[in-house]
Chains A and B, each alone.
Chain A
């Protein structure tokens, strides 16, 4: 039913304008594939996809040419786990759709799917996009239940239904979130076991609706379960639960993931973390450290970066830079905000090779450096205007004042 709904949206609202052919010359191409970095190459883009990568590609008048001049070109980046298009202003509750509270059913609702109301016209999206970001993982947040709901990947190309990949169910397991379920993290596991038993068998449904049971079953078969867990002991509990229930799990938080790196690697469970976390923020993250990502990577655990922020999601690039400054190889730091999240959540590959969707960015310098700017952001082969509400505000106030109020300056 739901899938039909999305398919309908997709056919009604194809967001991509027909793209002019595009040739990028002189790129220092970070392919995020086995090809590694290809220096000084040309990239021909046709119908929104990469047609050819070669040292010198002939051009003609019909092709728009952008010279990268030896600067780095990467896939358009991953903005982390956000509520982009679901929250205009976090503190304005009437403008936030990413969570529910005190729903009269008092049940868990894995079928609470935030993608239903994703708004591609939110000002947050161009503001994030022009900083080099092409996609995000939409989150169902908090709420007042162990199961927060579901989301999934979405591209920042302005489409109403530019979704990709698998359904992602959000689950709370931490003590911090246990307040509304009796105050103990034991309650999370008690309720999760019950709700999975109900959904997977013919037991009477007491914690979930029939639709919710279907959603949970679907996600078990083909989705991802994203567990909020920081403490090493909680992460081990997630691994045991995922194994027992045969779920694809991902850890979200993971401040102490480095302590159980080998178990994560053995279970092939990826970790979404914030590499700036190095304080014992609470008793669940006493082990937080700046080289968490480096240790996990060394143990062959896939890492993904997220700040949890939506409006300032663009800071994710700084997160990756700091991880690189603390022992993570540069290519792995870049992968953590491009190809890895795409792969883990079943999205299109973010490797820049022939046939791939042309979602890419030309940078002024090292893509992980804070002083670097995104110069061109190209999604599905279309160069972005690089205009956002913030650049317009900047341009309105950058010039010296005139006799007329600023409201007459419309950049």
Chain B
């Protein structure tokens, strides 16, 4: 029975939900499925020829050889076809910069202050963005939606399962950690410098990051002190009315959404996704992470990452990169097409092909193919079973979901793509896409091709 003192205590204590806006994702209906005779790229560097795979209850049961129940199994003959893990894009703005890209839909950058760690991308996601279904047709099963790069701290990202739902909660990847979008270089200094406001320089950028981390350290300390005091007082609260009243009178620090997110990074709960182009700036950021004791997760765009490939691997940092985009701004001037292949070269590397584009996300396999072939032409040995990691397992590692998806290991989510041919080709098409074992897309079956509310009934007179 709860004592009166405990009730007093609960009235005065701040309640904080550990996970507001929780995932309501449920796998779609599936049946046990045996896929036979495929060329399988497992996502962990292996290639199996004319191999089988069995999925059931939404999970990978086995790849290669194993038992199959005698009844109730759907068999798909994938002779001549290729099978890969579901494709993961670690850098997307679908939903926050949706199609149509009218100004009323421009929800990706809270570009009103350089530090907006308090905003969450999920609160901007429009689930009816037709881009989600287009990405699905390209084999995308998981994607991270990031805020834009106008701000030093852009806000929290969200990782979604790519199924068509009316709410982002219904797409939210269960158990995926949050990310924090940060940005280096030209964008923040251009946006705010242009308003004659800090930061207007790269040194201004770094000063503002550091000032924020210092505030976050203080915030963590304030909460720790509060919790220590509370623990001390409440240990006697059940029996001692004075202790209970004293505990009830300890005021908690004021909750601060911005600092909660930053503190989450410093505590290792939130992964940092840092938009950064130049090699020298990336090294500054790594030093800053050391200064404040956090692990940097992934550099995004990193067109100069090839200049510091060894340092990235040594620091256990991923590089999420483009195959060939360059030159659109000064910090993108040194881009080369071998960037991904060179970043992939060191031991313990984590090279990723990302899109940052509603077009590129539809053909991440082609982007990986370009990067692979440029690496091969430069003399690096990169077979498809290695390159597929750039858009599967390495991407899963970047998002903190490698235990659940990204390879075809037994027990993982059955996120799978069947391609009509070698996916490293301009002619390759995702024929069937499975998410948690459910077939969510079939190129040859219109009933398994979702259409968003926005697209329904458009151009009726022009229908072919």
Residues of A whose CB lies within 8 Å of any CB of B are 89-92, 124, 232, 256, 259, 276-283, 286-287, 295, 310-312, 314-315, 318, 321-322, 324-325, 368-373, 390-391, 393-394, 397-398, 401, 406
6 residue pairs A–B, Cβ–Cβ below 8 Å: A89-B329, A280-B455, A282-B101, A321-B427, A398-B378, A406-B307
B233 lies within 8 A of chain A by Cβ: no
Residues of chain A within 8 A of B372, CB atoms compared:
371
Q: Looking across the interface, which residue of chain A has its beta carbon closest to that of B324?
A: A312
Per the 8 Å Cβ criterion, residues 327-372 of B in contact with A are 327-330, 332-338, 342, 358-359, 362-363, 366, 369-370, 372
Q: Write the nearest CB–CB distance from A213 to chain B, whole angstroms.
A: 36
B181 lies within 8 A of chain A by Cβ: no
Instruction: Decide if B459 touches A370 in the complex (CB within 8 Å).
Output: no
Cα distance, A89 to B331, chains bound together (Å): 10
B73 lies within 8 A of chain A by Cβ: no
Residues of chain B within 8 A of A398, CB atoms compared:
338, 342, 378-379
Q: Looking across the interface, which residue of chain B has its beta carbon closest to that of A288?
A: B99
Q: Given known contacts A91-B186, A312-B327, A370-B373, is B102 in contact with A282 (CB within 8 Å)? A: yes
B131 lies within 8 A of chain A by Cβ: yes
Q: Write the nearest CB–CB distance from B389 to chain A, whole angstroms.
A: 17
Contact of A311 among B327, B338, B378, B429 (CB under 8 A): B327
Per the 8 Å Cβ criterion, residues 432-464 of B in contact with A are 454-455, 458-459, 462, 464
Residues of chain B within 8 A of A373, CB atoms compared:
373, 377
Residues of chain B within 8 A of A401, CB atoms compared:
310
Q: Write the nearest CB–CB distance from B102 to chain A, whole angstroms.
A: 6
Residues of chain A within 8 A of B370, CB atoms compared:
318, 370-371
Contact of B100 among A280, A370, A397 (CB under 8 A): A280
Q: Write the nearest CB–CB distance from B344 to chain A, whole angstroms.
A: 13
B173 lies within 8 A of chain A by Cβ: no
Q: Number of contacts between A and B (CB, 8 Å)?
A: 120
Cα distance, A384 to B362, chains bound together (Å): 34
Contact of B324 among A282, A315, A393, A397 (CB under 8 A): A315
Known: A280-B454, A371-B370. 18 other contacts (CB 8 A): A89-B333, A90-B327, A276-B362, A280-B99, A280-B458, A295-B464, A318-B366, A322-B363, A324-B426, A370-B370, A371-B369, A371-B424, A390-B326, A394-B336, A394-B337, A394-B338, A394-B378, A398-B342
Residues of chain B within 8 A of A371, CB atoms compared:
369-370, 372-373, 424-425
Q: Given known contacts A276-B359, A280-B99, is B327 in contact with A89 (CB within 8 Å)? A: yes
Q: Given known contacts A315-B324, A325-B426, A370-B370, is B336 in contact with A89 (CB within 8 Å)? A: no
Residues of chain A within 8 A of B369, CB atoms compared:
370-371
Residues of chain B within 8 A of A295, CB atoms compared:
464
Cα distance, A401 to B334, chains bound together (Å): 18
Cα distance, A390 to B186, chains bound together (Å): 22
Contact of B425 among A259, A276, A311, A369 (CB under 8 A): A369
B306 lies within 8 A of chain A by Cβ: yes
Per the 8 Å Cβ criterion, residues 100-126 of B in contact with A are 100-102
Instruction: Decide if B328 touches A91 in the complex (CB within 8 Å).
Output: yes
Cα distance, A312 to B310, chains bound together (Å): 27
Instruction: Decide if B324 touches A369 in the complex (CB within 8 Å).
Output: no
B325 lies within 8 A of chain A by Cβ: yes
Q: Looking across the interface, which residue of chain A has its beta carbon closest to that of B422?
A: A371
B130 lies within 8 A of chain A by Cβ: yes
Cα distance, A89 to B335, chains bound together (Å): 12
Q: Given known contacts A232-B462, A279-B358, is B100 in contact with A90 (CB within 8 Å)? A: no
Q: Write the nearest CB–CB distance from B57 to chain A, whole angstroms.
A: 35
Residues of B whose CB lies within 8 Å of any CB of A are 99-102, 130-131, 134, 186, 306-307, 310, 324-330, 332-338, 342, 358-359, 362-363, 366, 369-370, 372-373, 377-379, 424-427, 429, 454-455, 458-459, 462, 464
Residues of chain A within 8 A of B336, CB atoms compared:
390-391, 393-394
Instruction: Decide if A279 touches B378 in the complex (CB within 8 Å).
Output: no
Contact of A92 among B102, B306, B329, B373 (CB under 8 A): B329
Q: Given known contacts A394-B338, A397-B342, is B101 in contact with A281 (CB within 8 Å)? A: yes
Residues of chain A within 8 A of B337, CB atoms compared:
390, 394
Cα distance, A286 to B99, chains bound together (Å): 10
Cα distance, A295 to B101, chains bound together (Å): 26
Q: Write the nearest CB–CB distance from A190 to chain B, whole angstroms.
A: 24
Residues of chain A within 8 A of B99, CB atoms compared:
279-282
Q: Given known contacts A322-B363, A393-B334, A398-B378, is B427 in contact with A312 (CB within 8 Å)? A: no
Instruction: Decide if B100 touches A283 in the complex (CB within 8 Å).
Output: yes
Q: Looking across the interface, which residue of chain B has its beta carbon closest to that of A260?
A: B462
Q: Write the nearest CB–CB distance from A52 to chain B, whole angstroms.
A: 32
Instruction: Decide if A370 touches B329 in the complex (CB within 8 Å).
Output: no
Q: Looking across the interface, which residue of chain B has its beta carbon closest to that of A291?
A: B464
Instruction: Decide if A322 touches B426 in the complex (CB within 8 Å).
Output: yes
Which 9 residue pairs spanning A and B have beta carbons closest together? Answer: A311-B327, A321-B426, A91-B329, A371-B373, A279-B99, A370-B426, A259-B462, A390-B336, A325-B427
Residues of chain B within 8 A of A280, CB atoms compared:
99-100, 130, 454-455, 458
Q: Looking across the interface, which residue of chain A has its beta carbon closest to that of B458?
A: A286
Residues of chain B within 8 A of A92, CB atoms compared:
329-330
Q: Given known contacts A276-B359, A286-B459, A393-B336, is B102 in contact with A312 (CB within 8 Å)? A: no
Q: Looking across the interface, which residue of chain B has its beta carbon closest to that of A393?
A: B336
Q: Looking across the interface, which residue of chain B has its beta carbon closest to that of A317?
A: B426
Q: Write the nearest CB–CB distance from A366 to chain B, whole angstroms.
A: 8
Instruction: Decide if A278 touches B333 in the complex (CB within 8 Å).
Output: no
Q: Write the nearest CB–CB distance from B279 to chain A, whole angstroms.
A: 10
Residues of chain A within 8 A of B377, CB atoms compared:
373
Q: Write the nearest CB–CB distance from A56 to chain B, whole angstroms.
A: 31
Q: Looking across the interface, which residue of chain B has its beta carbon closest to that of A320?
A: B426
Instruction: Decide if B328 touches A311 in the complex (CB within 8 Å).
Output: yes
Contact of B134 among A279, A370, A406 (CB under 8 A): A279
Q: Looking across the interface, which residue of chain B has its beta carbon closest to that of A285?
A: B100
Instruction: Decide if B330 touches A89 in the complex (CB within 8 Å).
Output: yes
Q: Looking across the interface, which residue of chain A has its beta carbon closest to that of B429?
A: A325
Q: Write the nearest CB–CB distance from B329 to chain A, whole angstroms.
A: 4
Instruction: Decide if B373 touches A279 in the complex (CB within 8 Å).
Output: no
Instruction: Decide if B101 touches A390 in the complex (CB within 8 Å).
Output: no
Cα distance, A315 to B322, chains bound together (Å): 13
Residues of chain B within 8 A of A281, CB atoms compared:
99-101
Q: Write the nearest CB–CB distance from B258 to chain A, whole angstroms.
A: 29
Q: Write the nearest CB–CB distance from B424 to chain A, whole angstroms.
A: 6
Cα distance, A397 to B458, chains bound together (Å): 51
Residues of chain A within 8 A of B186, CB atoms compared:
91
A312, A322, A406 — most chain B CB neighbours (10 Å): A312
Contact of A370 among B310, B325, B425, B464 (CB under 8 A): B425
Cα distance, A283 to B99, chains bound together (Å): 9
Cα distance, A369 to B373, chains bound together (Å): 11
Q: Write the nearest CB–CB distance from A274 to chain B, whole angstroms.
A: 9
Residues of chain B within 8 A of A322, CB atoms compared:
363, 366, 426
Residues of chain B within 8 A of A287, CB atoms compared:
458-459, 462
Instruction: Decide if A91 touches B330 in the complex (CB within 8 Å).
Output: yes
Q: Given known contacts A278-B134, A279-B130, A371-B424, is B373 in contact with A397 (CB within 8 Å)? A: no
Q: Looking across the interface, which residue of chain A has its beta carbon closest to that of B376?
A: A371
Residues of chain B within 8 A of A324, CB atoms compared:
426-427
Residues of chain A within 8 A of B326, CB atoms compared:
311-312, 390
A91, A277, A322 — most chain B CB neighbours (10 Å): A91
Q: Write the nearest CB–CB distance from B464 to chain A, whole angstroms.
A: 8
Residues of chain A within 8 A of B373, CB atoms compared:
370-373
Cα distance, A278 to B373, chains bound together (Å): 26
Cα distance, A217 to B303, chains bound together (Å): 46
Residues of chain B within 8 A of A370, CB atoms compared:
366, 369-370, 373, 424-426
Q: Write the nearest CB–CB distance from A214 to chain B, whole angstroms.
A: 36
Cα distance, A280 to B358, chains bound together (Å): 11
